Amino acid sequence: MASDKLQKIIGPRTPQEELAQRRWRYLWPTICFLTAALLLVISTFLPYWSMILHAPQYPKGLVVHAYLNRLEGDVQEINGLNHYIGMRPLEEAAHFEKSVAVFGVVALALVVLAAVYIHSPWSALLTFPAIVFPGIFLLDLFYWLYNFGHNLDPHAALSNAVKPFTPTVLGEGTIGQFRTEAFADFGLLLATAASILILLGLYLQRRAYKPLMDQMVNREPQ
């Protein structure tokens, strides 16, 4: 009984004669999943989100790049400007997320790899976290931007000049005399491409293995 339940979870195996006749039909899902897993791993080395702050005293703009586990760029200069309006240093955001994000994304990649060997509807459930990961990243980013923009220090030098606000997650925004441009960077774009490949892989996998799955179910004793 346990082996039957396990077989239902991992799904049917492809008969050799079927694989020989329709090799690419069964290879395409694997290619999609393998490529998606590779893109997720590569994304951990790249910035996920970037923002350019245009200020009168910085005509070329200040840039901050948000990686999964750190910030790079003109972070201290932006912190200095934010200090006047009472915003906390950027490094204080998302401590927990930054401590686990890289390992989490690598784990998602491994789960996607596991979907190569699971030819049942369970593969969709298994890969669901990787599919929604880019959206979760943006939602978490929005939360921290909202948190920082709505919890300003009332004792800051220019606290009365700026009302609570939410910095723009994507696109252009204006904060007093400052203008910001925020955009998804290469890491997030790769993670999004991975999500699309996973969805495509699930579709191709279902198209390839559903007939075999139906045969397996029909062979079960009633």
* 26-67 confidence digits (pLDDT tens): 899 999 999 999 999 999 999 999 999 998 888 889 999 999
- pLDDT at site 51: 96
Q: What is the pLDDT of residue 81?
A: 87
3-17, 172-186, 201-215: which range is least confident on average?
Answer: 3-17
Domain ranges of the chain: 23-210
CATH number of the domain located at residue range(s) 23-210 in this protein: 1.20.140
3-state secondary structure of 160: helix
pTM reported for the whole predicted model: 0.90
Q: 132: how many CB neighbours lie within 10 A of its CB? A: 12
Write down the pLDDT at residue 5: 65
Continuous segment of H or E residues that includes residue 54:
strand 49-55
Q: Are 124 and 12 within 8 A, CB to CB?
A: no
**pLDDT single digits (tens) 81-97:** 888 888 999 999 999 99
d(CA 66, CA 82): 17
**Which has more pLDDT, 129 or 166?**
129
User: Quick one: average pLDDT of 1-12?
Assistant: 62
Is residue 191 within 8 A of residue 48, CB to CB? The reply is yes
**Are 137 and 184 contacting, i.e. CB atoms less than 8 angstroms apart?**
no
Question: What confidence score (pLDDT) does residue 2 get?
Answer: 46
Percent of the chain's residues with pLDDT above 70: 87
CA 185 to chain centroid? 12
Dihedral, 45, 48, 53, 58 alpha carbons, nearest 10:
10
- How many secondary structure helices (H) and strands (E) does the chain include? 7, 5
pLDDT (0 to 100) of residue 79: 93
Q: Tokens in use for 42? A: 């590569």
Block residue for tokens 């204006």: 174
> 101: helix, coil or strand?
helix
pLDDT digits (tens, 9 = 90+) for 112-162: 999 998 877 889 999 999 999 999 999 999 999 999 989 988 888 877 777
Alpha-carbon torsion (134, 139, 144, 148), positive or negative: positive
pLDDT at residue 133 in the model:
98
Maximum distance among all Cα pairs of the chain, rounded to whole angstroms: 78
Residue pointed to by tokens 């079927």: 18
User: DSSP string of 188-222?
Assistant: HHHHHHHHHHHHHHHHHHHHHHHHHHHHHHHTS--
Whether pLDDT at 165 is above 80: yes
